[in-house]
Structure 1
Amino acid sequence: MRSRPARAWILALAATALCGCNLAPPYVRPEVAVPASYLTSGEVPVQDSGTNAPAIGWSAYFQDPVLQGLIEQALRNNRDLAAAVARMEQARAQFRIQRSQRLPGLEISGSGQRLRTPVSAADGAARVTVDSYAVQVGIPAFELDFWGRVANLSEAARRQYLATAEARDAAALSLIATVAATYYAVRASEAGIVLAERSLASRQETRELAQLRMDAGLTSSVDFNQSYALVTQAEVQLAELRRSHGQAVQLLQFLVATPLPPTLPAGRPLEPDAQLARLQPGLPSELLEARPDVRLAEQQLRAANANIGAARALYFPLIALTGAGGYASSDLSGLVSDSNRVWSFGAGAVLPLLDWGARRARVDAAVATRDEREVSYQSTVQNAFREVASGLVAAEQNDRQIAAQLQAVQVQQALVETAQDRYEVGLTPYLEVLDAERNHFTAEQALLQLRASALQDAVNLYAALGGGQLTRSP
């Protein structure tokens, strides 16, 4: 036959097993209009070769080894990303603390006391010394979760933890994209500096030739002044490119959080086919699972939904159990024996009768928070589709712009050669040569910027599509 303490423990466990009522609303993912396929400039649906972004890790997508090394350093050293990881660990610890409340705890206690007291209240009465010793194992006050309050609080903490894990992934993806875009800005400014230095050297030679022709009386000072102005213009442009390059290098160094060499090692050509793997957008419905910021918004929505159940449970009594079993005696030597066995078991319930609307206000606040999170989720999804559509349009038009600009550079180069030939035989003034050289330099710089912009747009599209799965959320 079972003893009374054993039966009390069984009743406590049985009561715990009966808990399971959940007052949280059933979670349903909010409806968001999802297009059947992506459209670029409103012409035809995108049909591209390549691999879906979530299936391509960043090290496979970015094929420049120099950039790969910089991204690795950034993921390892960047302080903002480290802070995101620390916030995730904080949320994880809070979830573990909250989850522990769903199961009864055990604690062991021991005590010893010696008390000297009079036998009676009369003056001069004899006094006695009483010893007492006890050792017990018990359950501290444990809430029976009939209404799902503790379970919903645990679920909310779990969803907040998962949200911080998604925030960590979003921060990592943003860092990768920013490092790549900054790297391409550095490379573009380096190429621009080389181009500007070559143009400056050419214009300085032209100025020296104009000086000689003017000194020999073959031309007027107008040609010399015009060539001098062109040199000055090239010097200003070169200074601007060096300023942009220095700022881009400083940003890159901040992102990787480690000193960079004075000159970066040579990388691949600054062209999309040489820098990046081919990418296809996939189905729009896949975007809801691919982007960490969308998953983050949904985890926050689910946490808010669980908090509604916790708030509603406060309308019902809070029922708690306590229990303990052990030994108590006035003699330490015989403390642990059957004759000194003691136990206790208790239950209590509390239900506020008048709280001046506090419980109702908690439910209203929880519902309003859930509504806010729902709208935020829908907005995040809509923004995700906008970013992808914008990136696809940019990718489509960048190819056309680069092809057209290549032709423009070739045409300007031919115009420079023609102008020089015509000037040398005296058919045109020197101003025509200067204009042709200036236009050719401008066309080359524009082509360089278009290629850099195309790379940055491709990076943004990769991030907008969710990028590769950096670290799967727990």
Structure 2
Amino acid sequence: MTMRKKTFPLAALAAAALLLSGCSLIPTYERPAAPVEASFPPPPAIDGAQPQAATGAVASELSYQQFFADPRLVQLVGIALSSNRDLRATSLAIEQARAQFQITRANQYPAVGLAANASRAPNVINGALTNSFQVGLAVTSWEIDFFGRLQSLKEQALATYLASEEGRRAAQTSLVAGVANGWLALQADEELLDLSRRTVATREDSVRLTKLRLDNGVSSALDFQQADSLAQSARATLAQAQRQRALDENSLVLLLGQPLPADIRSSLAGDRLADVPPFPALQAGLPSDLLVRRPDIRQSEQQLIAANANIGAARAAFFPRISLTAQAGTASNELSGLFKSGSSAFSIAPSLVLPIFDAGRNRAGLASSEAGRDIAVAQYEKSIQTAFREVADALAGDATLAEQLRALQAQAQAESGRFELSDLRYRNGVATYLDLLDAQRSLFGAQQAVVQTRLLQRQNQVSLYKALGGGWTDQPEMAASAASSSPATR
């Protein structure tokens, strides 16, 4: 219809429509029960004695600067957080999700623009050509959200944005742990390289001594061949250690997103894991604590909330969709009369579409969204179970690796004494050279095992820190404010 000489403000129309809208068909969200036990399994008993539960700091409240006492490691983590390409891509995905949320939210409001029309058509009565000119503000196909379809889509986009923010935090915790483990591996590589070099030097001395004894008829050719074989084995181990050192540095460089700083690289020489400052003790708490401490679990829950909101949009598709097109301005049969007194005009054209037959499209859409919600529930429960296992594994390792390291250190000390005695007995002709070589092999193996087990222990402590939600400290203000304004997150 068209009204002249009387205007109806578009702002008042928009306000009335917004008041009428707001119905939501989103199912009431209820957080699924955690499918795990109420407490973590007790650590394995050592020598029949049950270990005491660890007491200490809460991992999620302990920044990586506080957890890692080595300033070089803190510097490397800072470099990775600013330069790692995977984390950068994850952060950009947040910006994309935020923009998508803003687009979806904007669909709830009318888009007002300047419209100008000009037409020339024959009169239906006399056939004479008639001009028509119109200019003004226009609202084109604005959907009035009576049944909450757009509201549901907005809630879905908001939850998706919040999930991407939690995903960035989860990626950060993984990156922090990855850099720490890579740095510890490099320190272990340096210690193993030093051990291999010293072993090669010792065995080459044995080869020279055996050759001298062979030339003087004191030793046999068999002794010489055995000594040479053991020296070649040590050289092979050294080459393997050098290759592993290079591979571990390459892995760390990839995590950093830039080459290892020269001063840090040079400072590695002579590093020993035994000299690394100890990490703070952590308290495990309860499995239910992980729901708020672990970013990956919160990410999975936001994805579940998004899937739940999708059901509301699918339900709304069964109801009428009401759209509005309106324009307010001036109209005239002559271009010069557009802005004269009495040329004002207003038009409004509401439309309603009620689905009657769609070959099952809406039902299939609802079934798909409900299945998506069930998938999100399973994924959320799996994320809790995975977190529970990671914490339980780290706690079991914390209880047993210390005892394993203690036993291996005692074994290495015993093997060192055995080697010294075997060397003394051989030089005095009491023992065979085979006994000495066997003592050398056992000592080298025990020393390697000590370094590797100490590495496992340190990396397990890092894994426990990550599993308990440590490694991120920032709380972006926009995500917090968006979450507080979302009905789905209350």
Does the pair score TM above 0.5? yes
What secondary structure, in the 3-state scheme, does the structure 2 residue paired with 1:315 have?
coil
Which shows bigger deviation, 14-23 or 440-449? 14-23
Flag structure 2 segments of 5+ consecutive residues without an equivalent: 480-490
Partner of 1:347: 350
Matched, 1:163 2:163: yes
Q: Secondary structure at the match of 1:274?
A: coil
Q: Distance in 2 between matches of 1:119 and 1:107?
A: 31
Alpha carbons 1:36, 1:284 under 8 Å: kept: yes
Picking from 63, 71, 80, the partner of 2:69 is 63
Match of 1:81 in 2: 87
* Aligned residue identity for 1:69: Q
Return the match for 1:417 from 400, 417, 420.
420
Tell me: CA distance 1:232–1:139, structure 2 relative to 1, closer, same or farther (3 Å).
same
Task: Please say which of residues 311-320 and 209-218 is displaced more in the overlay.
Answer: 209-218
| Residue identity matched to 1:6 | F
Distance in structure 1 (CA, Å) of the matches to 2:441 and 2:123? 112
Q: Distance in 2 between matches of 1:288 and 1:118?
A: 72
| 1:98 Cα deviation after fit | 0.4
Q: Is the 8 A contact 1:409 1:440 kept in 2?
A: yes
Q: Residue 230 of structure 2 aligns with which residue?
A: 230
CA distance in 1, matches of 2:279, 2:330: 74
Residue 56 of structure 2 aligns to which amino acid in structure 1? Answer: G
Q: TM-score, normalized by length of structure 1?
A: 0.91
Q: Provide the residue aligned with 2:369 in structure 1.
A: 366
Confirm or deny: 8 A CA contact 1:70 1:179 kept in the other structure: yes
Provide the secondary structure at the position in 2 that maps to 1:135: strand
Q: 1:228 to 1:342 in 2, by over 3 A?
A: same
SS of the equivalent of 2:116 reads strand
Q: What's the TM-score once normalised by structure 2's chain length?
A: 0.88
Q: CA deviation at 1:349?
A: 0.8
Distance 2:171 2:9 in 1: 54
Aligned residue number for residue 408 of structure 1: 411
Residue pair 2:203, 2:230 contacting (<8 A) in 1 also = yes
Could you give the per-residue CA deviations for residues 20-43 of structure 1, whole angstroms, max 9, x where no partner exists? 211111000011244343234355
Tell me which residue corresponds to 1:266: 267
Distance 1:336 1:250, change over 3 A: same
Identify the residue that residue 31 of structure 2 maps to in structure 1. Answer: 29
- The equivalences for 1:409-448 within 5 A come to 409-448=412-451
How far does residue 183 in structure 1 lie from its aligned partner after superposition?
A: 1.8
Find the partner of 1:391 among 381, 391, 394: 394
Q: 1:310 to 1:119 in 2, by over 3 A?
A: closer
Q: Which runs of 4+ in 1 moved over 6 A?
A: 116-122
Q: What's the CA shift for 1:139?
A: 2.0
In structure 2, the residue matched to 1:299 is 302
Unpaired runs of 5+ residues, structure 1, are none
Deviations 1:137-160 (A, max 9, x none): 122222111111110011111111
Q: 1:458 — aligned with what?
A: 461
Identity %: 38
1:153-185 superposed Cα distances (whole Å, 9 cap, x missing partner): 111111111111122222222222222212222
Q: 1:362 and 1:120, CA in 2 relative to 1: closer, same or farther beyond 3 A?
A: closer
In the alignment, the residues of structure 2 paired with residue 96 and residue 391 of structure 1 have an alpha-carbon distance, to the nearest angstrom, of 41
Distance 1:300 1:396, change over 3 A: same
User: Helix, strand or coil for the counterpart of 1:399?
Assistant: helix
Find the residue that maps to 2:265 and give its secondary structure: coil
Equivalent pair of 1:34/1:285 in contact (CA under 8 Å):
no
Which whole-Å CA distance do the structure 1 matches of 2:11 and 2:340 have between them?
A: 21
In structure 1, C-alpha distance between the alignment counterparts of 2:350 and 2:376, rounded to whole Å: 38
Counterparts of 1:333 and 1:45, CA distance in 2: 94
Identify if the C-alpha distance between structure 1 residues 140 and 185 changes in structure 2 by more than 3 Å, giving closer, same or farther.
same
Q: Secondary structure at the match of 2:205?
A: helix
Shift of 1:289: 1.3
State the distance in 1 between where 2:184 and 2:44 align. Answer: 29
Q: Distance in 2 between matches of 1:192 and 1:119?
A: 98
Letter in 2 for 1:439: S
Q: Say which is worse superposed, 381-390 or 426-435, in terms of deviation.
A: 426-435
- Which residue of structure 1 lines up, in the alignment, with residue 17 of structure 2? 15
**Counterpart of 1:185 in structure 2: which amino acid?**
A
Shift of 1:131: 6.2
- Where does residue 199 of structure 2 map in the other structure? 199
Structure 1 residues 272, 145: closer, same or farther in 2, change over 3 A? farther
Partners in 2 of 1:217 and 1:417 — Cα distance?
24
Letter in 2 for 1:73: I
Give SS of 1:258's match: coil
Counterpart contact for 1:272–1:454, Cα < 8 Å = no
| CA–CA distance in structure 1, aligned partners of residues 63 and 83 of structure 2 | 19
* Contact residue 12 and residue 321 of structure 1 kept, 8 A: no
The 8 Å contact of residues 61 and 473 in structure 2, kept in 1 or not, is answered as no
